[in-house]
Amino acid sequence: MRYHKLSSELFTENRKKFTERLKPKSMAIFTSNDAYPTSADAHLPFKQHSDILYLSGADQEESILVLFPDAHKKELRQVLFLKETNDLIAVWEGAKYSKEEAFEISGIQTVFWLTDFDRVFHEMAVNSERIYMNGNEHLRAHVDTELRHDRMNKWIKETYPAHEFERSQPLLHKVRGTKSEKEIEVLRMAAAVTKKGYERVLRFLKPGVWEYELEAEFMHEFLVNRSRGFAYTPIIAAGGNANVLHYIENNDQCSEGELVLFDVGAEYGNYTCDVTRCFPVNGKFTARQKEVYNAVLRVHDGAISILRPGIMLDAFHTQVGEMMTQELLALGLISTKDVENQDPSWPAYKKYFMHGTSHYLGLDVHDYGLWTVPVEEGMVFTVEPGIYIPEEGLGIRIEDDIVITADGHENLTRSIPKTVDEIEAFMAS
């Protein structure tokens, strides 16, 4: 665990928000992610499942969390099961959590080793009426792999077929969509690390550097600031590469007169930052680049101004589309005839701005959250309009991370240079 230890109160609050929504006499179970093998005896770096992290802070493989708020025995209302360190593990991998460390991290007093799981879980299950099981019900999820929670769900259904079964995901989408102040503070830390990375790269950027060299500069800055690294696969796209929305090769050279689109954010304490900026390779925007950039910036700022408590996300996206339509008309990229004859399901502006404006942000880059409720205080979104003109080799997107407050918003990433004047002045300094 590279990051500074987070307060156990964060996870205690999260468990309270979740368990108060459970039906009576219910228990809920959450498992860690698998450690994914590659080939031979190698594994990918371990990344914990965000649900067990959200509820316990347990950032270790082979962990299991069981919550049973109505348990007769107080000590069985919150139980964490962990892999026990033995001499071999200690020598080859390093010691795992002790029970005392697990309590300090999670605030959970009852910690068992995994060898006790069947016995303790059975005692809990026979005293419950229903079991909430976890899965992956994210709107963007397309999962072909059987995961650890899938195997756990199969085992529970086979072992306790007479129980009622419920889904944890609808509850998690509700509670995880609105962040506590403690969570927002960790998001601020991720944003602060991300800012340092962008400032380092702005000083390094010049004609002739390679996209992967810029990626390396980000990684250096993130690691020395206790981040595990990128919150998602970074996009560093020079020139026409910016018109590939998920360009991740990062293997071209940056040339005089081009813009480079950076979609890069740091992770801190497993919470994510997601930022996009476009910088001129030589430190100065051309007239055309500035014209299109400022059009995107006006939509960006306009979108942030209307993202307030009470608005529905569908209405928000519609209004942003209307802003973008006016900018594209002014740029001459679409005509009034295009707008008059547009297909309502794919408006004319979509030719140059084909992706969504926002998504929830938190432990996951595309975080949990409901699209069927009004925006409320504590929700965190990205705002990321863009204009992509392949025939000009020009793609521009501007993205910030926005916390919804009672009377408006807090822009977590506002201090990363964004206006033309800010960018050019920083690169000239």
pLDDT in tens, 160-193: 999 999 999 999 999 999 999 999 999 999 999 9
Domain pair 8-175 / 181-428, same fold: no
The confidence score (pLDDT) of residue 1 equals 67
Supply φ then ψ for residue 116, to 5 degrees: -95, 5
In this prediction the pTM is 0.95
pLDDT over 80 (residue 395):
yes
When pLDDT is cut at 50, 70 and 90, the band that residue 85 belongs to is: confident
Would you call 388 a catalytic residue per the annotation?
Answer: yes
When pLDDT is cut at 50, 70 and 90, the band that residue 139 belongs to is: confident
pLDDT digits (tens, 9 = 90+) for 41-68: 888 988 999 999 999 999 999 999 999 9
pLDDT over 70 (residue 154):
yes
Catalytic residue among 4, 122, 246, 288: 246
Domain covering 181-428, topology: Creatine Amidinohydrolase (3.90.230)
Catalytic residue among 122, 167, 203, 355: 355
The confidence score (pLDDT) of residue 145 equals 86
Catalytic residue among 59, 397, 401, 409: 397
Rounded mean pLDDT, 19-34: 97
Would you call 400 a catalytic residue per the annotation?
Answer: no
The confidence score (pLDDT) of residue 230 equals 98
Would you call 247 a catalytic residue per the annotation?
Answer: no
Whether residue 409 contacts residue 390, with contact meaning beta carbons closer than 8 Å, is answered with: no
3-state secondary structure of 67: strand
Q: What is the CATH architecture of 8-175?
A: 3-Layer(aba) Sandwich (3.40)
Of residues 235, 283, 264, the one with CA closest to residue 388: 235
Catalytic residue among 34, 211, 221, 274: 274
Q: Spell out the domain ranges in the chain.
A: 8-175, 181-428
CB atoms under 10 Å from CB of 226, counted, come to 15
pLDDT over 90 (residue 140):
no
Supply φ then ψ for residue 357, to 5 degrees: -90, -30
Would you call 104 a catalytic residue per the annotation?
Answer: no
Provide, rounded to the nearest whole percent, the portion of the chain with pLDDT above 90. Answer: 90
pLDDT over 80 (residue 92):
no
Amino acid at 354: M
Would you call 185 a catalytic residue per the annotation?
Answer: no
pLDDT over 90 (residue 422):
yes
